[in-house]
Amino acid sequence: MLSPEAHARILSIDGSAALEVPGVRAVLTADDLGVVGGSGRKAEPLARTEVVFAGQPVALVVADSEAAAEDGAELVFVEYEPLPAVVDLEQAILPGAALARIERSADEADVAMHGEAGAGEDDEGTERVSANVIDIVAYAEGDPEQTFAECAAVVEGRFRTSWIHQSYLEPQAAVAWPEGDGGVAVRSSTQATFWTRSDLARVYGLPIPKVRVEAATLGGGFGGKFGVIEPLVVGAALALSRPVRLVFTRSEDFVSASPGPGLVIDLKVGARADGTLAALEGRVLADSGAFSDSSPVGFAGGKLGGAYSFEAWSVRTYGVRTNRPGAGAYRAPLATPTAFAIESLVDELARRLDVDPIELRLRNVPAAGDLRVDGIAWQATGLRETLEAVREHPLWQRRDDLPENEGIGLASGLFPGGRMGASAVCRLDSDGGVTVVSGYVDMSGTDTGVAAIAAEIVGVPLDSVRVVSGDTSEAPQAGVSGGSMVTYCLGSAVALAAADAREQILRYAAQQLEVDQADLEIVDGSVRVVGAPQRELSVAAIGSRLTGFGTSYPPVQGHGTAVPPDLAPSAAAALVRIRVDRDTGRVELLDWVAAQDCGRALNPALVEGQMHGGAVQSIGYALYEELVYDEDGQPLNGSFLTYAIPRIDAVPEIQTLIVEVPAPYGPLGAKGIGESAIVPGAAAISNAIRSATGARLHELPMTPDRVWRSLRSPAP
């Protein structure tokens, strides 16, 4: 059962009446779960003495049926002593503000002490802040003040973006059961089995081999499925020594998972007369929600520079604790809201300088080695080719020839993606099929790209390749299915494993066909002598022979481990045509062109799927989606009746332009493409509104009332 209070002390929990309900097996509270370690939300699957957000799990009612569990939960009586809820970011950071959490953990001491030293700014010019600030990250380079002074145009603005829910198709779910001697297994909707294993081992003090994590194939996770539900279910299974299943209802998932956080961004950007972006200054208040772990808010500042490089900059991000759920990652974490800010301002700069917006962006494509504002060097990317592809699109040519109230907007983005080590096995089966085994979770169809890599490299038809995601007890070591890493990192390991398997196949065939291995090729699943294709040995026959009794040759099992030596950012651009209804503020999407550099499209249908999905989610971010909390921290929308994601009638036809600039280290040139697809859409819509109406929006989502009000304010 979930807390109805956003912030309160728990005075007592009485489960005795619930235990009388037929079928109810147990009422578990925090004291019943044997948490011994971990940090943040994972170490607090149930609230202990203080609830810190409305929707926080307070007790688990375990029963033989859902109905009995629901009946039982109605009879668990929790006595709360309400405390002030912290909701507004700007209020929350003021010295002396009410605190979103009274009980502190030891590892928070530093920032808190610093923050509580006093009001105003300290000797170094640092803002004094309250103990709700749990994280301060600053980046600076050069002399921004001086550089701004040299600029031909400087624009600035305050942008606000919303809390947003990942709205994956399947709410989070998990079943856990005791296994082996004191161990536990869990099958869940996790995006990362090995991470979940480590987390659970830490939280419940179990040796790593005593925790086994299996993943279900995921339609989507979008960053939201990293260990929210598993500690609850595993704790219950361990406490009760029996299998326990927990499936979030949609409403539970809305109020108690780990949605993407809201930001308040103050951003100022200056450009030289030739359009060169020169200076950037930014301050971000990033809502951490109630927990301090696994939140990406500290990195918001690093994204402020968008797809550009500057001469001088100063950026400061405050991670602010509030009485909302713990902030999680959402597809291209924080890149969509920060792109909303920077791409809006770049659009304004193009107007001020009277430079074509694409031309301005092309002049500022970062070269490999140019620094991001977080000080990390950019890699070579396909951003230029992506922008050029958009420039040639007929829609862009029409931009000055539009009816009244229509506008065309453009924005671009780069998402660096991540990299993690990956291992893979490529096994030839007795039927000639190729099985690729990894520990990555198959999410949004990632397995199909992996299969394409193996098929092409081994030289067998795609439909003879199957990809298996193993559990943590036996799978090759894996990173997370997220961060645009599956194709890029796992794919690299699979490419090596497939090449290894191919080599083993050829070596055996060379011996059997009595030819030099160099004279062999694999065509359509058969090893042939080059120039004498009638001399052949099918891969299926090899698989059958090498898995039988008495073979003198080992089975074919290729193997690869890899970490790509550098990141491979994917560039994306969105070009949109919209119409604004000036009476209602409603924005109608008329055309959408999504261009994206995917390195190489291993599975074009899936690449287009990612581009479509990213575009649609950016439409949600732009126009519809917001988790709304009232001033007491009460969530006001917890279902799809009240939380608006784009419906099909709100989505225009999306034209996709796949741009292929091979990633130097990517498997067959491929790169991770999942994240950048979402980045530019919201900014593009905003720029189109500006183009159509002259109004500059500063807040996401750009709902009709906000648009309507902007139409009555002057453009910056």
Site residues (vs a second copy, CB under 8 A): 194, 198, 201, 207-209, 418-423, 425, 427-431, 433, 435, 437, 466, 468, 470, 473-477, 479-480, 493, 504, 546-557, 559, 561-563, 565
Give the nearest distance from C-beta 451 to a second copy in angstroms: 12
User: Given the complex with a second copy, which of 559 and 612 has the nearer CB atom?
Assistant: 559
User: Given the complex with a second copy, which of 433 and 704 has the nearer CB atom?
Assistant: 433
What count of other Cβ atoms lies within 10 Å of the Cβ of residue 500? 20
The answer to whether 86 and 321 have CB atoms below 8 angstroms apart is yes
Give the nearest distance from C-beta 437 to a second copy in angstroms: 5
Q: Give the side-chain half-sphere CA count within 13 A for 142.
A: 17
Give the nearest distance from C-beta 12 to a second copy in angstroms: 39
Q: Mark 211-246 as b/e (b = at least 16 C-beta within 10 Å).
A: bbbbbbebebbbbbbbbbbbbbbbbbbbbbeeebeb
User: Given the complex with a second copy, which of 94 and 499 has the nearer CB atom?
Assistant: 499
The C-alpha angle 101, 107, 109, rounded to 5 degrees, equals: 70
Q: Is 532 helix (H, G, I), strand (E, B) or coil?
A: strand
User: Given the complex with a second copy, which of 474 and 653 has the nearer CB atom?
Assistant: 474
User: Given the complex with a second copy, which of 76 and 185 has the nearer CB atom?
Assistant: 185
Residues paired with residue 536 on neighbouring β-strands, in sequence order: 528
Give the nearest distance from C-beta 379 to a second copy in angstroms: 14
What count of other Cβ atoms lies within 10 Å of the Cβ of residue 609? 16
- How many Å apart are CA 703 and CA 716, to the nearest integer? 20
Residues paired with residue 528 on neighbouring β-strands, in sequence order: 521, 536
Give the nearest distance from C-beta 534 to a second copy in angstroms: 28
Residues paired with residue 183 on neighbouring β-strands, in sequence order: 179
User: Given the complex with a second copy, which of 381 and 504 has the nearer CB atom?
Assistant: 504
Q: Mark 91-128 as b/e (b = at least 16 C-beta within 10 Å).
A: ebbebebbbbbeeeeeebeebbeebbeeeeeeeeeebb
User: Given the complex with a second copy, which of 238 and 501 has the nearer CB atom?
Assistant: 501
- How many Å apart are CA 41 and CA 369, to the nearest integer? 37
Give the nearest distance from C-beta 499 to a second copy in angstroms: 13
- How many Å apart are CA 351 and CA 360, to the nearest integer? 10
Give the nearest distance from C-beta 127 to a second copy in angstroms: 30
User: Given the complex with a second copy, which of 318 and 330 has the nearer CB atom?
Assistant: 330
Give the nearest distance from C-beta 299 to a second copy in angstroms: 12
The answer to whether 401 and 589 have CB atoms below 8 angstroms apart is no
User: Given the complex with a second copy, which of 62 and 420 has the nearer CB atom?
Assistant: 420
SS (H, E, C) 321-378: ECCCCCCCCCCCCCHHHHHHHHHHHHHHHHHHHCCCHHHHHHHCCCCCCCECCCCCEC
Give the nearest distance from C-beta 532 to a second copy in angstroms: 29
Q: Mark 273-304 as b/e (b = at least 16 C-beta within 10 Å).
A: eebbbbbbbbbbbbbbbbbbbbbbbbbbbbbb
User: Given the complex with a second copy, which of 517 and 557 has the nearer CB atom?
Assistant: 557
Give the nearest distance from C-beta 2 to a second copy in angstroms: 31
- How many Å apart are CA 54 and CA 36, to the nearest integer? 25
**Torsion sign across C-alpha atoms 639, 643, 645, 647:** positive
- How many Å apart are CA 377 and CA 102, to the nearest integer? 40
Give the nearest distance from C-beta 612 to a second copy in angstroms: 25
The answer to whether 400 and 535 have CB atoms below 8 angstroms apart is no
User: Given the complex with a second copy, which of 282 and 558 has the nearer CB atom?
Assistant: 558
Closest CA to 570 of 420, 421, 675: 675
- How many Å apart are CA 157 and CA 269, to the nearest integer? 9
User: Given the complex with a second copy, which of 433 and 609 has the nearer CB atom?
Assistant: 433
Give the nearest distance from C-beta 291 to a second copy in angstroms: 19
User: Given the complex with a second copy, which of 149 and 208 has the nearer CB atom?
Assistant: 208
User: Given the complex with a second copy, which of 512 and 557 has the nearer CB atom?
Assistant: 557
| Distance between start and end Cα atoms, the chain | 48
Give the nearest distance from C-beta 380 to a second copy in angstroms: 19
Q: Are strands 434-438 and 465-469 parallel, antiparallel or unpaired?
A: parallel
Give the nearest distance from C-beta 552 to a second copy in angstroms: 6
- In the block, tokens 């956003």 appear at 6
**Torsion sign across C-alpha atoms 626, 627, 632, 633:** negative
User: Given the complex with a second copy, which of 546 and 601 has the nearer CB atom?
Assistant: 546
Give the nearest distance from C-beta 547 to a second copy in angstroms: 6
The C-alpha angle 67, 71, 76, rounded to 5 degrees, equals: 140
